[in-house]
Structure 1
């Protein structure tokens, strides 16, 4: 039996770099950015020749979906990230996306760290600024298309493009204005979380010690999101807020990027009852891979093996029809960013008392360019059927969108 490593199929890419239609140094302050490909030693999950052929066929023919991603490129100097974010201008990793195998990306931008007017993030004007700047850049290239309907998703695959679904990890920016859900929908937002780390007018985030659950206003927002066709996410919501949201929603929801608390006891991951409740409502759970989240006792050094142990646990718990991948990667030093943003993102709070050896990056799923082909390789090499791979790599997500988006 021989092993073979191949380059995944690529989408047509013309070399465009973000904001190249502007004048560097005049229209914006330039930063040296990390390379999209090759920042760390490339890794392809080992498979046989025959398995690699199957992997490439899957990447070519089936829908490959990321339920949660941040496709921006970080500065090489992580210490400049606050100044970089305050500028309010993020570069998209188009070159990396072109070799990622991805057809659909739920793009979550960087609004928890939109520090244009405040160091707290989640300010209404900053969120709209963040969306508008990225949309302007999207309009000047031809690899990524903004997807707001099911037809957009299907068209992207057919045309060899990458469909971006605009997603926000929290509703904090709507404050106490339910009609802002409509405004965000008009701006293309199709998935939105209830709360991030801190509590807001809707409910509690995972940082809070006392989770009072979904508020009266939160119930109004859930109802509005159901009516307007915006899918709900509770990845960063506190446990009781997540339970209440699932119960209150008349439609399936997502937990876009998470793992099983049964395998690694931290607030960032969800207990079995919430995972089961999400599935029983018809929802889908995306498995997370951001550094030092989906660890396990069997694989305490975070890698693709740790991530896939969470995948198998959740799939066995709720069924293969309710699992997907929202690996939560980016182009840059993700561990370094976590250090820089530790206070703003409540990372230490989410780790709780768990002790672990820190890695420099999560081997096998370090960035969008390598993560999804490697997940497919892992699934093929572990004997998953083509039907089940199609489900977890895309079809499960598409099913929920058909049920939750406006017709």
Structure 2
């Protein structure tokens, strides 16, 4: 299925010597589950291939890196401060632009609690050094880079910081991140910070005065704002206070599954009314539904259709929040940092999965999203909207 013609075999940090220049880890096979493709007939297969070649695909929220085969070694791997981008795996995808959230949530280089400014800069600088040694990913700083990547069979790589805790009370750090090439910043990552409250808090007072100043600064510099991990009032305040559209890069509809990790209808509507986009996520045990209590592509797409019907297909996309490794095991290792146990209000019994069938990693997910939409009779126009058009509309308004 390879359509990423520019990939020439580069491996992360291959300009260095493993075991000498950096600590060596054994990585999992990127397609460790064996893979799954939504079944199609011959005509549908041909249409998928055509769409993948003709249309841009933007993955609004991913962690496209390799993880250790033994997931218990992940803290040691992250403390070493050198994540390995999964170049080869990405070359098998149909992604043209990937929003890479890097070590966010597990950035524990110097602190078990994570989210230290020096660690964010370390993580970003290390990845940029690696990217500078290859020619498959383009460091994406403007919309034109996305079109360029699509035309050249490459991938536009967007640097993202998922939560704003590292800026502390320093507005100018937003400018610094932008200057270093970061183009999206989350207001909070579950825990509260100087900007506002995270979704795992019992009480949500909304954006602080500093948070409002940060939103204003992000609007001025052209930084895309993400509210995925915010408490509902903080998220709503950010939407209403921002002068530009914002996104929820990875979430779902709380009307379908009662988890604090997902959004109520009124917040989804507020994002859409401001011209923004909601990306549907697929991290394990998040976007389930009462009719699909086994988390797989069918439950995720139920969230997609619910949001599309609620606010219009012009305001929904995909940020599956996937990676190349055992995601369920990662959650178990980092349960405190990733705030999984504090977010669910679910009392119903559901089947715990070993992986999310159909959307387990960015490569599998990119193909299956198109395949599912084709199988269910969506038009070329609507497919283009949800895989890139809606996101491009927002980016043109925010990044200009």
Q: How far apart are the structure 1 equivalents of 2:146 and 2:374? A: 25
307, 331, 334: which one pairs with 2:324?
331
- Secondary structure (helix, strand or coil) at the match of 1:350 reads coil
Task: Tell me whether 149-158 or 224-233 shows the greater mean CA deviation.
Answer: 149-158
Partner of 1:75: 68
- Secondary structure (helix, strand or coil) at the match of 2:343 reads helix
Q: How far apart are the structure 2 equivalents of 1:184 and 1:352? A: 35
19, 31, 35: which one pairs with 1:42?
35
Q: How far apart are the structure 1 equivalents of 2:346 and 2:323? A: 26
- Secondary structure (helix, strand or coil) at the match of 1:225 reads helix
Partner of 2:17: 23
Aligned ranges for residues 80-99 of structure 1 at < 5 Å? 80-99=73-92
Aligned ranges for residues 43-192 of structure 1 at < 5 Å? 43-192=36-185
Q: How far apart are the structure 2 equivalents of 1:110 and 1:352? A: 27
Q: CA deviation at 1:158?
A: 1.0
248, 253, 258: which one pairs with 1:260?
253
Instruction: Say whether the 8 Å CA contact 1:111–1:130 is kept in structure 2.
Output: no
Q: How far apart are the structure 1 equivalents of 2:345 and 2:90? A: 34
Q: Please state if 1:393 is matched with 2:391.
A: no
Q: How far apart are the structure 2 equivalents of 1:51 and 1:353? A: 37
TM-score (norm. length: structure 2): 0.98
CA deviations over 1:296-345 (Å, ceiling 9, x no partner): 01110000000000000000001000000001110000000000000111
Partner of 2:370: 376
Q: How far apart are the structure 2 equivalents of 1:96 and 1:265? A: 34
Instruction: Say whether the 8 Å CA contact 1:260–1:271 is kept in structure 2.
Output: yes
Q: How far apart are the structure 2 equivalents of 1:59 and 1:118? A: 42
Q: CA deviation at 1:151?
A: 1.4
TM-score (norm. length: structure 1): 0.97
Q: CA deviation at 1:356?
A: 2.2
Instruction: Say whether the 8 Å CA contact 2:61–2:101 is kept in structure 1.
Output: yes
Q: How far apart are the structure 2 equivalents of 1:325 and 1:214? A: 26
Q: CA deviation at 1:183?
A: 0.4
Aligned ranges for residues 218-297 of structure 1 at < 5 Å? 218-297=211-290
Q: How far apart are the structure 2 equivalents of 1:18 and 1:349? A: 35
- Secondary structure (helix, strand or coil) at the match of 1:112 reads coil
Q: How far apart are the structure 2 equivalents of 1:111 and 1:362? A: 21
Uncovered stretches (5+) of structure 1, i.e. residues with no partner: 1-6
- Secondary structure (helix, strand or coil) at the match of 1:113 reads coil
Instruction: Say whether the 8 Å CA contact 2:3–2:153 is kept in structure 1.
Output: no
Q: How far apart are the structure 2 equivalents of 1:27 and 1:116? A: 17
Number of corresponding residues: 399
Partner of 2:357: 363
Q: How far apart are the structure 2 equivalents of 1:79 and 1:201? A: 32
Q: CA deviation at 1:8?
A: 5.2
Q: How far apart are the structure 1 equivalents of 2:59 and 2:141? A: 16
